Amino acid sequence: MTEIIVVTSGKGGVGKTTTSASISCGLARRGKKVAVIDFDIGLRNLDLIMGCERRVVYDFVNVIQGDCTLKQALIKDKRIETLYVLAASQTRDKDALSSEGVRRVLDELTAEGFDYVICDSPAGIEKGAHLAMYFADRAVVVVNPEVSSVRDSDRILGLLASKTQRAEKGNGGVKEHLLLTRYSPKRVATGEMMSVTDVKDILGLDVIGVVPESTDVLSASNAGVPVILNEESDASRAYDDAVARLLGESLPMRFVEEPKKGFFARMFGG
Amino acid sequence: MGLLALFRRTPPTANVAKERLRIIVAQERSARGGPDYLPLLRRELLEVIKKYVNVDPEAVQVNLEREDGHEVLELSVALPGGKRL
């Protein structure tokens, strides 16, 4: 059984590609066969985050238009045996993606025995975002604890509940999860930032992970190594927990509270 | 939080964000998936009411709420002070 997971958010810059990269690495690291697809036609970026930008020969649109086979376009990850990347096209023609074409690619990945296909959605609610979510079985909605991100996420939840194949067929709909990123327990503690519970209450969804704000995320994208692979990082641990929860494990949420500080640290900052 | 932070006053705004979002999300959710005639219904009701009372366009709220099994069409008109419809 192939499970198709869309990583989406509505708003841009909240961490969809970072999340797609880390979740696909995390699943593949646990022995699953994973393909991660960049749906952001015209603005290819997943390849950079995955560190395979110089190995892109064929892209998603090439496959759809029959310029090459799917096998030729899938870029095999050099770190994890069972992980493959399908890059977005750099074409400016937004109509290059067709529903039929996307379906064909997903069917072929299913036939090839992939366990998971991660669809990295573009921002917005246009065609690319629509097609990224249309065939999904599950959705990871990436949200920052910030007003515009939360509102846009709710809009995306509305679309997931109506404009997807599962919603149209009425077979249970898409299973939705929230993933909070750029979370700062310190600012939550001082009342400057909405908490996990606040966001969860407003959107009424289960939270599958909370990734703390971390300088490691920028270093990871600088280096083209998904942050989950940086074992030293809290962001890595948080993503790995989220992957475990996707696979059905139940784990306590980490990094949601500020670590307790001693007297001196409190008085003199740290 | 250093010593200086104790004297700096930044009012906590997370609660404001939460309240604003709760309201707007609820409003947008109730509009979503509802019948398409609601905006038109609202406009026509406003026309009728305006024949009698001069109300603000914002004063007419039409909401459709789903409660287990049935739907409730809720109509709320805020009249200008002192006048009666």
pLDDT score for B59 = 78
In chain B, residues with a C-beta closer than 8 Å to the C-beta of A154 are: 25, 28-29
Residue A107 has pLDDT above 70, yes or no: yes
Range list of β-strands (E), chain A: 3-8, 34-38, 75-76, 83-86, 116-120, 138-143, 175-183, 207-212
- The candidate with the shortest Cα–Cα distance to A157, out of A135, A137, A181, A133, is A133
Q: Tell me, what DSSP letter sits at residue B13?
A: -
**CA-CA distances (angstroms) from residue A69 to A42, A53, A64?**
21, 19, 9
| Ramachandran bin of A182, using left for φ above 0, alpha for ψ from -120 to 50, beta for the remaining angles | left
Contact A269 B5 (CB under 8 A): yes
State how far the Cα of A222 lies from the Cα of B2, in Å rounded to an integer: 31
Within its chain, how far is the Cα of A121 from the centroid? Answer: 8
**Exposure class string for A80-89: b at 16+ Cβ within 10 A, else e:** bebbbbbbbb
- A196 and chain B: CB distance < 8 Å anywhere? no
Q: Is A4 helix (H, G, I), strand (E, B) or coil?
A: strand
Contact A147 B5 (CB under 8 A): no
pLDDT score for A106 = 98
pLDDT grade for B3, boundaries at 50, 70 and 90:
low
Question: In this structure, what are the phi and psi dihedrals at residue A143, rounded to the nearest 5 degrees?
Answer: -140, 140
In chain A, residues with a C-beta closer than 8 Å to the C-beta of B33 are: 158, 161-162
Q: Is A257 helix (H, G, I), strand (E, B) or coil?
A: coil
Residue A172 has pLDDT above 90, yes or no: no
**CA-CA distances (angstroms) from residue A41 to A85, A87, A95, A221?**
15, 9, 9, 20
- The candidate with the shortest Cα–Cα distance to A20, out of A1, A3, A35, is A35
Q: What is the average per-residue pLDDT within A235-255?
A: 96
- The candidate with the shortest Cα–Cα distance to B82, out of B61, B62, B54, is B54
- The candidate with the shortest Cα–Cα distance to A122, out of A45, A201, A58, A179, is A45
Question: In this structure, what are the phi and psi dihedrals at residue A234, rounded to the nearest 5 degrees?
Answer: -65, -35
Q: What is the average per-residue pLDDT within B13-42?
A: 84
In chain B, residues with a C-beta closer than 8 Å to the C-beta of A201 are: 18, 22
- The candidate with the shortest Cα–Cα distance to A40, out of A24, A16, A22, A58, is A16
Residue B19 has pLDDT above 90, yes or no: yes
Domain ranges across chain B: 12-82
Q: What is the average per-residue pLDDT within A142-170?
A: 95
- A205 and chain B: CB distance < 8 Å anywhere? no
State how far the Cα of A6 lies from the Cα of A131, in Å rounded to an integer: 10
Interface of A with B in 160-179 (CB under 8 A): 161-162
Interface of A with B in 104-133 (CB under 8 A): none
Q: What is the average per-residue pLDDT within A4-24?
A: 97
Interface of A with B in 206-245 (CB under 8 A): none
Looking at the predicted complex, does its ipTM rise above 0.95? no
Contact B29 A158 (CB under 8 A): yes
* Nearest residue of chain A to residue B20 (CA atoms): A147
Order the strands of the A175-183 sheet from edge to edge: A75-76, A83-86, A34-38, A116-120, A3-8, A138-143, A175-183, A207-212
For every residue of A171-215, DSSP letters joined together read SS--EEEEEEEEE-HHHHHTTSS--HHHHHHHHT--EEEEEEP-H
Q: What is the average per-residue pLDDT within B56-78?
A: 77
For chain A, what is the mean pLDDT?
94
Nearest to B15 among A158, A191, A203 (CB): A191
Instruction: State the fold for domain B12-82.
Output: Cell Cycle; Chain A (3.30.1070)
Contact B14 A191 (CB under 8 A): yes
- The candidate with the shortest Cα–Cα distance to A71, out of A35, A116, A117, is A35
State how far the Cα of A36 lies from the Cα of A21, in Å rounded to an integer: 8
In chain B, residues with a C-beta closer than 8 Å to the C-beta of A194 are: 14, 17-18
pLDDT grade for B33, boundaries at 50, 70 and 90:
low
C-alpha distance from A246 to closest chain B C-alpha (Å): 27
